[in-house]
């Protein structure tokens, strides 16, 4: 029988727990067998619920020979230290997005990985695994419909948590577009801009919603992304690619038709966890398979860095209401596929 990949997960909050359930009940070839969290009591309760070993610290778990690979689902500011510990231990590590809150922190991870001499890090940009985005990617990369020229995208959430601030639209939500559109088009960004729409009265005071991010790629493709995070209705993700010979649209998720209140329509997702369930499943199954085959084939530490460079430019653009250049360091040969 093929050997099981034993995973240790650090950060037992909501997303961490859904990944434990996903891996241990739906996927094959791996099991989460251990966990760690700064909140020791909560960690113990999670360990008990799922039959895992609770470690006192993330570092201890990462170093343990019982654990083959690591998942990091802590709060964003703690990603760096656990990813670095995993790299130092020579273990594959999957880190939820963002790899780290700043481009500098991501760069430290990139440097540590290069010093280790082997790619070990994958970043949790699950949209790359969504069947709809994969169809778009295929259509764009073959140039079957000509060159992509413009993209119109939307990222709409019904509501946001209380800690959400003006920067979160870029840093927390639109980072997904920053990553997935760079991957779709296969090129880096040249500039970023963020403008405000007329503010909805439904957002709490001080929170400016909606916002529009405008990105221009190095070859000149123009992208607009609407972020409307207090729309009060539904979770809605759109991506329309205007090519020279066709207009391509991200397929809408197939959902049941509902007849109610004199309206005929299709059910919509209430949030991202249901909208991207299939993408998360594929993402983790492919990660498990790749770890067992001894490689990383998903979003790399370099992709994590590139995303934070563009996010920082977009945030600066929003704060100063100017257009900002997106300037990356030169991509090392280590990450050229
Ligand atoms: C959340 O953190 C996510 O990652 C979701 O995918 C995104 O749609 C949402 O806007 C974020 O708040």
Tens-place pLDDT, residues 281-319 = 999 999 999 999 999 999 999 999 999 999 999 999 999
Ligand 1 pocket residue status of 157, Cβ below 6 Å? yes
- When pLDDT is cut at 50, 70 and 90, the band that residue 1 belongs to is low
pLDDT tens per residue across span 43-84: 999 999 999 999 999 999 999 999 999 999 999 999 999 999
Give the distance (Å) from ligand 1 centre to CA of residue 162: 14
- The 3-class secondary structure across 147-179, one letter per residue, is CEEEEEEEEECCCCCCCCCCCHHHHHHHHHHHH
Ligand 1 pocket residue status of 176, Cβ below 6 Å? yes
Ligand 1: which of 97, 272, 279, 307 to mutate, judged by most atoms within 8 Å of the beta carbon?
272
Q: What is the average pLDDT value for the chain, to the nearest integer?
A: 97
pLDDT tens per residue across span 222-275: 999 999 999 998 999 999 999 999 999 999 999 999 999 999 999 999 899 899
User: Which residue puts its alpha carbon closest to atom 5 of ligand 1?
Assistant: 272
Ligand 1 pocket residue status of 168, Cβ below 6 Å? no
Can you tell me the distance from the alpha carbon of 17 to that of 26, in angstroms, rounded to the nearest whole number?
13
Can you tell me the distance from the alpha carbon of 92 to that of 106, in angstroms, rounded to the nearest whole number?
16
Give the distance (Å) from ligand 1 centre to CA of residue 272: 6
Give the distance (Å) from ligand 1 centre to CA of residue 98: 11
User: Which residue puts its alpha carbon closest to atom 10 of ligand 1?
Assistant: 173
Q: What is the value of pTM for the model shown?
A: 0.96
> Mean pLDDT, to the nearest integer, of 160-167?
91
One-character DSSP codes across 237-287 = EEEEEEESS-EEEPPPP---EEEETTEEEE---SSHHHHTHHHHHHHHHHH
Atom of ligand 1 at shortest range from CA of 276: 6
CA atoms in the 13 A half-sphere facing the CB of 170: 29
């Amino acid at each position: 029988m093929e050997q099981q990949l034993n995973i240790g997960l650090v950060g037992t909050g909501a997303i961490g727990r859904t990944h434990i359930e996903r891996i241990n009940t739906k996927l094959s070839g791996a099991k989460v067998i251990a966990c760690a969290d700064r909140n020791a009591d909560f960690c113990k309760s999670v360990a008990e619920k799922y039959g895992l070993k609770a470690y006192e610290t993330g570092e201890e778990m990462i170093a343990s020979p019982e654990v083959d690979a690591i998942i990091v689902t802590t709060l964003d500011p703690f990603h760096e230290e656990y990813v670095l510990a995993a790299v130092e231990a020579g273990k594959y590590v999957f880190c939820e997005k963002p790899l780290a809150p700043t481009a500098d922190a991501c760069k430290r991870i990139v440097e540590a990985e290069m010093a280790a001499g082997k790619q070990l890090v994958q970043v949790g940009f699950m949209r790359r695994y969504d069947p709809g985005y994969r169809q778009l990617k295929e259509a764009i990369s073959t140039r079957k419909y000509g060159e992509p020229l413009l993209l119109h995208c939307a990222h709409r959430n019904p509501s946001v948590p209380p800690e959400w601030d003006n920067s979160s639209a870029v840093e927390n939500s639109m980072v997904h577009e920053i990553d997935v559109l760079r991957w779709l088009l296969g090129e880096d960004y040249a500039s970023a801009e963020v403008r405000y729409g007329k503010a909805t009265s439904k957002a709490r005071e001080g929170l400016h919603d909606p916002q529009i991010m405008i990105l221009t790629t190095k070859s000149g493709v123009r992208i607009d992304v609407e972020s409307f995070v207090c729309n009060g209705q539904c979770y809605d993700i759109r991506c329309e690619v205007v090519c020279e010979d066709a207009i391509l649209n991200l397929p809408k998720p197939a959902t049941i038709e509902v007849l109610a209140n004199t309206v005929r329509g299709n059910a919509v997702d209430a949030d991202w966890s249901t909208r991207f369930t299939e993408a998360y499943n594929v993402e983790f199954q492919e990660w498990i398979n790749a770890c067992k085959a001894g490689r990383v084939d998903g979003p790399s530490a370099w992709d994590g860095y590139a995303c934070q460079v563009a996010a920082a430019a977009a945030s600066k653009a929003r704060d100063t209401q100017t257009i900002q250049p997106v300037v990356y360091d030169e991509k090392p040969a280590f990450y050229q596929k």
